[in-house]
């Protein structure tokens, strides 16, 4: 996969920014908050690897539909071509949107002795509409530490959590030890951490948004341009990085992928699918109010009932196989 299977860290192209980089004046899909809460190891769950590992490949089923940037995901993948820990959305036109919870070259701590000491597990919890996927790397070692020193002294525990209800992403960090950062982080002070939309490995470009963390891992900066940003060390135990979706769809000036798939519009409360305009199946619909809150989720091509909600402007986010379409709806009081 181009850069990802050749380098430990992301190396960035300054010339790309003029053509494809994210403009800081543009609204970002996600905002970063940093909190601290006790790290809770995953109890139970399903193993994603069953033996000692180095650069494993696996697919994680989400158990729900999850909106990541402008893609609807039902699974994420970790590929052996990635030389540091990244979870990728299924590729679209050979581009990958990436979750990067800990950009370092990890390995099972028992790898040299052919013993499985570093479980990777996942678990889906919660009820429909409020499910949470947790993927955990437990007691993972560092490849360079193991190979150079002949034993695994450094280690990391962390989790990725995806929230169905609001589309938020969290990285949780547990107990860790790093005695020689330049060794395990390929000469740098710390890992790459963040998210990126539409990474093209062939051209080494990010064509969409990017949010990378830099500096003090306890109080990192949030960088929205594509450059060589890393943390100054591993995140302290109990640190949580949360990437929250900005729910501002109805105020967005962009009319990209707008459609008229439900009617009547205006409506007095109940919307029906317009079969004459339907060219592909509707998988799910999310309804957002004028404050950007998701007030309703509907599976498939069902009627959407807005009775009881205040009159005003609402936005439908309509998930289809080709992507997410949007429709603005005017809800009018019925007399």
Half-sphere exposure of 278 (CA within 13 A, CB side): 16
Residue 171: in which H helix or E strand, if any? strand 169-177
Cis peptide before 127 (omega within 30 of 0): no
Helix, strand, coil percentages in the chain from 3-state DSSP, rounded to 5: 10, 45, 45
Q: Is 185 exposed, middle or buried (0-12, 13-18, 19+ CB in 10 A)?
A: buried
Q: Read off the tokens for 86.
A: 């990244």
Angular region, 204: left φ>0, alpha ψ -120 to 50, beta rest: left
pLDDT for position 105: 94
Q: Which residues of 64-84 are buried (b: 16+ CB within 10 A; e: fewer)?
A: bbbbbbbbbbeebbbbeebbb
Residues 72, 74, 78, 80, CA torsion sign: negative
The tens place of each residue's pLDDT in the chain, 335 residues long, gives 333 333 333 333 222 222 233 333 346 889 999 999 999 999 999 999 999 999 999 999 998 888 888 787 889 999 877 667 888 887 766 778 899 999 999 999 999 999 999 999 999 999 887 899 999 999 999 999 999 999 999 999 999 999 988 889 999 999 999 999 999 998 999 999 999 988 877 777 788 889 999 999 999 999 998 788 999 999 999 999 999 987 544 444 444 456 788 999 888 889 998 877 777 888 888 888 766 677 888 888 889 999 888 888 888 888 888 777 888 888 886 54
pLDDT for position 249: 45
DSSP 19: H
Place of tokens 């003029």: 18
Its pTM stands at: 0.73
List of domains in the chain: 2-245 (no CATH), 249-331 (2.60.40)
- β-partners of residue 159 are 136, 172
Half-sphere exposure of 73 (CA within 13 A, CB side): 27
pLDDT for position 53: 96
For the chain, how long is the longest CA-to-CA vector? 78
pLDDT for position 199: 83
pLDDT for position 89: 82
pLDDT for position 193: 96
Percent of the chain with pLDDT over 90: 49
Half-sphere exposure of 5 (CA within 13 A, CB side): 12
pLDDT for position 147: 94
User: What is the DSSP secondary-structure string of 190-207?
Assistant: S-EEEEEEEEETTTTEE-
- Residues whose CB is less than 8 angstroms from the CB of residue 25 and which lie 6 or more positions away in sequence, other chains included: none
Cα–Cα distance between 47 and 13 in angstroms, integer? 37
Q: Read off the tokens for 315.
A: 């936005």
Cα–Cα distance between 282 and 218 in angstroms, integer? 42
């Amino acid at each position: 996969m181009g850069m990802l299977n050749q380098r430990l860290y992301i190396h960035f192209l300054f010339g790309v920014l003029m053509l494809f980089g994210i403009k800081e004046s543009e609204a970002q899909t996600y905002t970063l908050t940093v909190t601290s809460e006790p790290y809770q190891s995953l109890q139970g769950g399903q193993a994603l690897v069953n033996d000692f590992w180095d650069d494993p490949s696996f697919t994680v089923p989400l158990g729900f539909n999850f909106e990541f940037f402008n893609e609807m995901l039902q699974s994420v993948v970790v590929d052996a071509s990635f030389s540091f820990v990244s979870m990728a959305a299924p590729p679209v036109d050979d581009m990958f949107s990436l979750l990067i919870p800990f950009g370092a070259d990890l390995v099972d701590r028992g790898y040299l002795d052919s013993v499985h000491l570093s479980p990777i597990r996942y678990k889906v919890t919660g009820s429909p509409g409020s499910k949470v996927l947790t993927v955990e790397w437990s007691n993972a070692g560092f490849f360079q530490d193991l190979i150079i020193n002949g034993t695994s002294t450094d280690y990391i525990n962390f989790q990725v959590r995806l929230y169905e209800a609001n589309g938020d992403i969290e990285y949780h960090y547990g107990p860790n030890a790093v005695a020689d950062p330049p060794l395990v982080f390929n000469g740098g002070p710390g890992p790459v951490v963040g998210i990126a939309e539409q990474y093209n490995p062939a051209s080494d470009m990010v064509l969409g948004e990017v949010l990378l963390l830099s500096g003090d891992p306890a109080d990192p900066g949030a960088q929205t341009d594509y450059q060589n940003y890393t943390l100054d060390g591993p995140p302290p135990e109990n640190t949580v990085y949360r990437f929250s979706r900005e729910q501002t769809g109805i105020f967005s000036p962009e009319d990209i992928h707008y459609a008229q798939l439900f009617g009547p519009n205006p409506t007095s409360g109940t919307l029906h699918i317009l079969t004459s305009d339907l060219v592909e199946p509707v998988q799910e619909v999310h309804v957002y109010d004028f404050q950007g809150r998701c007030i309703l989720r509907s599976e498939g091509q069902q009627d959407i009932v807005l009775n009881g909600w205040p009159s005003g402007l609402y936005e439908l986010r309509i998930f289809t196989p080709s992507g997410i379409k949007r429709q603005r709806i005017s809800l009018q009081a019925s007399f």
